[in-house]
Structure 1
Amino acid sequence: MKTGWGAFILCFATWFGEPVQSASPSTSLHPLPRPDRTASATPAATIAAALPLTLPNMRPQLRPASPQEVAAAARATDLPLLGPDISPKPFKRPKALEQQVLFKKRKLRKSSVCGEIEIQGKAVGSVSSRVKACGIKDAVQITSVSGVVLSRPSTMDCGTAIALNKWVDKSVKPTFKRRGPVVELQVAAHYACRTRNNRKGARISEHGKGRAIDISGFKMADGEVVTVLDGWRKNPSQKQLKKVWRGACGPFGTVLGPNSDRYHRDHFHLDTARHRSGPYCR
C-alpha cells in the first residue's frame, strides 16, 4: 500500500514538472558580477597625453586689498598706519566756494530778526497809534521765512514771526513739496489798526496789535498760484490747503478759514492770541 502511494506521488510530480526540492542554489537567478573597472578604465597616462601641455588657470583672481583692509591689517599686527593719504575722503571744497557760502550765511545772519536766521527782515521798533488798543512795542518787518518770500513786507511782533516761520517750515513746505516747491506766500493783510472784520463797534482785531497775518495763496516755483478762494473746495488743492490749515493750529492760537464765516472765504487768518481753552481753529 505504501509502495503504491509512493509510486503514485512520483508519477504525479513527474507529470507536472520537477519537484520543488530539486531546485538548488546553483540554478537560481542572481545579479551578474560587475565588470572590472580597473581593467576598463582609461589609464591616467593616456588621459594626460590627450590634455594640452599647459592648462589655463581656472581659479578666480584675488582682488587687490582695499585701503580699509590695509589699515585693518596694520592695526591687527600692531604696525604703524600708512597715513591719511590712503583713506578715502571727499575732495576739499574750492576756496572760492567756501568763501561764497560763508559770505551768504553772514549776510543772512546780518539781515535776520527775532534771533532766527530763517526769519529775514528788519527791526522797525515801536509802532504807535492814536487808538489806545493798537500798536506794537518791538515790531519787525518780515520779508521771508524759511526761504519762502512774503509777497509784501509784513509788520508784526516777533512771536507772530516765529509762529509763521515754524508753520512754513513744518507744514507749508512739506505739503507742497511735490507740487512746488513753495517760493512765495500771498499776504492779504498784516498790521492794521482796525476792528474785527472791519465792523463798527467791534473789538480791536489782533491785526491792530501786530499779532496776525492773513494768507490768501501760495506761489510755486513754476509760477502756479494755489489760492484759498479757488482751491478750498476743488481738487487737487483742497486736500493740500486743508492740511496746511490744520498745520497752523498749534503754532498760532487762532486759525480761521473758509469754513469759519463769509469774511474768511478767500484767506487764512492766523494770529497768536492765546485762549484759555487752547487754540481756536475753524
Structure 2
Amino acid sequence: MTRRVLSALLLLLAGTVAAEVPQSSKRPVDRPAALTLEGSGAISTAAPRAATLRGTAPAVSLRPRMRTREVRRLIRRHQKLRAAGAICGDPAIQGEVVGAVPGRIAGCGVAQAVRVRAVSDIALSQRAVMDCGTAQALKTWVDGSVKPTLRKMGGGVASLKVAAHYVCRTRNHKAGARISEHGKGRAIDISGFVLRDGSTISVLTGWTARDTSRALRRMHRDACGPFGTVLGPDADSFHRDHFHFDTARYRNGTYCR
C-alpha cells in the first residue's frame, strides 16, 4: 500500500469518528435563575425571578430589617460596660471580686467574697459583701418578684436599701449565740425600695400601710425559695424594719416568717 493510499484511509477514518461524536455536551445544564408553578402544576422556565405561587406573593417583604450602625454600636457599648463589671460569671451581677475575707472570731469569714453594687440593673444603696451564691439568690428574687411587683408603682424599682450585709457577729448580736449568716457572707438585709419617681417604700412603715402592704408581703413570700431563710416584721422585734435573707439550707426546706 502506497503512502498516499494510507493517508487517504486515515483521513476517512477520522471523519467517521468525528461524525459519531454528539454535537451537544452531556454536562448537566444549569437550571434557570427562577422557576414558577403554573396553574397546571408544570414547571415553567419563562417565569419571574422569585419562585412564587401565582397570586399569593406578599405585598411587603418579610425579611427582617437590619439594625442601624448606631444601634449596633450602642448595644456593643452596653455589653462591654456590663461585662467589665460582671462578677460571679453573670453580667447581670455587677461589682468587684474581693477574695478571701478572714473573720476576727472563729466561724466568721468568707472564702471567696464579692462586693455587689447592682443586680439586673437595680442598684444597691451600699456595696454589699457576700458570696456568689447569695448574689445569685438576690438576682433571682429581684428578677422574679421585685421588678414585676413594683413595675406599676412609681415607675418601677430603681434601687434596694441595704441595711446590712457581711459583718462578723452572732445572731441578733446576742452574746454566746451562734455565728450569724451575715458573718459567713451568706446574708443581706433589705429595709426598703426606692422607686424611679424618687419615692421610697419602707418595710417599717409600709408593712401594714394600705397602699404598700400587699406588695411588701408578696416580695417577702417570693423570697422563700431563692433564699433558705426569710424573716420579716412578723418574725420578731429584731426584724420589724427589714427583710433578712440568707442562703442557709435546712433539711426540712426553707424557713420563712
- Three-state SS of the structure 2 residue aligned to 1:150 is strand
Q: 1:264 aligns with which of 214, 217, 239?
A: 239
Write the distance in 2 (CA, Å) between the matches of 1:242 and 1:233: 9
* Residue pairs, 1:1-282, within 5 angstroms: 75-77=36-38, 79=47, 80-81=49-50, 87-179=61-153, 180-282=155-257
Aligned partner of 1:269: which letter?
H
Write the distance in 1 (CA, Å) between the matches of 2:245 and 2:174: 19
- Three-state SS of the structure 2 residue aligned to 1:213 is strand
Question: 1:215 Cα shift?
Answer: 0.1
Write the distance in 2 (CA, Å) between the matches of 1:127 and 1:248: 26
User: What does the per-residue CA deviation read over 1:107-163, in whole Å, with 9 as the maximum and x for residues that have no partner?
Assistant: 211211111111111111000122120000010000111111000100000000000
- Three-state SS of the structure 1 residue aligned to 2:95 is strand
Q: Cα RMSD between the aligned structures?
A: 1.9
Write the distance in 2 (CA, Å) between the matches of 1:102 and 1:247: 34
Question: 1:88 Cα shift?
Answer: 4.3
Gaps of 5+ in 1: 1-73
- Three-state SS of the structure 2 residue aligned to 1:252 is coil
Q: Which has the higher strand share?
A: 2
Contact kept, 8 Å, 2:193 with 2:202, in 1: the verdict is yes
Write the distance in 2 (CA, Å) between the matches of 1:227 and 1:183: 14
Runs of 4+ in 1 over 2 A off after TM superposition: 74-80, 88-94
Q: TM-score, normalised on structure 2?
A: 0.77
Q: How many residues align?
A: 209
Q: 1:88 to 1:256 in 2, by over 3 A?
A: same
Aligned partner of 2:178: which letter?
R
- Three-state SS of the structure 1 residue aligned to 2:78 is helix
Question: 1:236 Cα shift?
Answer: 1.2
Question: 1:76 Cα shift?
Answer: 3.6
Question: 1:171 Cα shift?
Answer: 0.5
**Which residue does the alignment assign to 1:44?**
none
Write the distance in 2 (CA, Å) between the matches of 1:200 and 1:173: 38
Aligned partner of 1:241: which letter?
L
Q: Which has the higher helix share?
A: 1
Q: Percent identity?
A: 49
